[in-house]
Amino acid sequence: GAGRRTLAEYTGKKFFYGIKTGLNEAFVIDRVIRDRFVQQHPASGTILKPFVQGTHLRPFHIEESDQFLITLKSSGDYSWAWSDLDENTEKAFAEAFPPVYAHLQAQREVVSKRSDQGRYWWELRSCAYWEAFEQPKIVWPDISKLPRFSMDTENRYLGNTGYIIPGGDYYLLGILSSWATWFFISKTAQPLRLRGDRWQYRLIAQFMEHVPVPDAPEAERQAIAGLARTCSSVGQERYQGQVNFQRRLLQAFGSTGELNQKAEAWWNLSLNQLGDALKQSFKLPANPMKNPRAADEWEPYLQEKRDDNARLTRALTDAEAELNDRVYRLFNLTADEVKLLQMEVEH
């Protein structure tokens, strides 16, 4: 239509899926292993990059994964110490990154059988857009039942269950995150299955490239970009607060085990409900909040953090509402059309 381009046209077809390692069990490590490698051999840190999968990509924020990718690019893409040698290539790799070599060597049989690999068995397959991960980029998961677009500003690498659009275009983030765009996606992308009462859709390139991106006057572009920035910073701050409180609970009550789903969503709970959730999570003999001293200590703290969470949720909801209104207007939707669309997607 007039005044809009498809996402493929708007981005010059620059959206990419994440890295296919062929064997995440070998190439994706946790923070403990990463820290050990760096302690043993600081230079190995240069090839260990923060890594997330589609599951970590949420609306306007990215969850911590505590995972790292061993980014041994193919010698076809990058010149390593071993790339131009005629012999002793493996020895050169072992000397360049000893702990990483030992780690992959221990799983050599499966690592070397990957169909996705570089010039050498320890390398990742060739990828034409490595540098795209080292810059701000819009990210989203390949399967979702609601808009889960966010801006990665921390140079994270993505697994192949996520997609990226390089460059920090907050106007585009605002358009993609809107219910107007989700309505279009719900009519054009392949539905996968019902989850709860919502359909999950496959947000792969062949469907996403048709998403319309409306043109807008500069002032309007700035306004939408500003709202998307606000949603991003507030969304990230709220998530951080939620995680920090979860950590406090783990430190205080959970010598072993992890928080159950109820305790994870602590901001929805009264003090007594939180105590019950902790009791179940950590198989404690009693609800710890029944202890008056613990209750006196935790009640004001819980209240303060719940208030913070509620304030940030309101700020996020307000910014999202304004963002959606502005995008509806860009698509020239009438009030009635907006109502119908909201009934269909915003439930």
Separation between Cα atoms, residue 89 and residue 211, nearest integer Å = 46
Average pLDDT over residues 173-192: 95
Average pLDDT over residues 148-157: 97
Give the phi and the psi of residue 6 in degrees, each rounded to 5. -75, 160
Residue 345 pLDDT level (bands cut at 50, 70, 90): confident
Residues 6+ apart with CB under 8 A from 184: 211, 212
Residue 3 pLDDT level (bands cut at 50, 70, 90): confident
CA 202 → CA 60, 186, 192, 193, distances in Å? 19, 10, 7, 10
Is the confidence at residue 327, as pLDDT, over 70? yes
Is the confidence at residue 1, as pLDDT, over 80? no
Separation between Cα atoms, residue 305 and residue 313, nearest integer Å = 12
Give, for 6, the enclosing helix (H) or strand (E): strand 4-6
Is the confidence at residue 259, as pLDDT, over 80? yes
Q: What pTM does this model have?
A: 0.93
| Alpha helices, DSSP H, located in 64-178 | 89-96, 98-105, 108-111, 170-177
Is the confidence at residue 116, as pLDDT, over 90? no
Give the phi and the psi of residue 61 in degrees, each rounded to 5. -155, 165
pLDDT in tens, 155-174: 999 999 999 999 999 999 99
Is the confidence at residue 235, as pLDDT, over 60? yes
CB burial of 97-119 (b: ≥16 within 10 Å; e: otherwise) equals: bebbbebbeeeeeebeebeebbe
pLDDT in tens, 202-222: 999 999 999 999 999 999 999
Separation between Cα atoms, residue 117 and residue 20, nearest integer Å = 9
The Cα diameter of the chain in Å comes to 73
What average pLDDT does the chain have?
95
pLDDT for the residue numbered 196: 83
CA 55 → CA 265, 271, 283, distances in Å? 17, 30, 28
Q: What percent of the chain has pLDDT over 90?
A: 93
Contact criterion met (CB below 8 Å) for 126 and 77: yes
pLDDT for the residue numbered 4: 86
Contact criterion met (CB below 8 Å) for 305 and 290: no
pLDDT for the residue numbered 347: 59
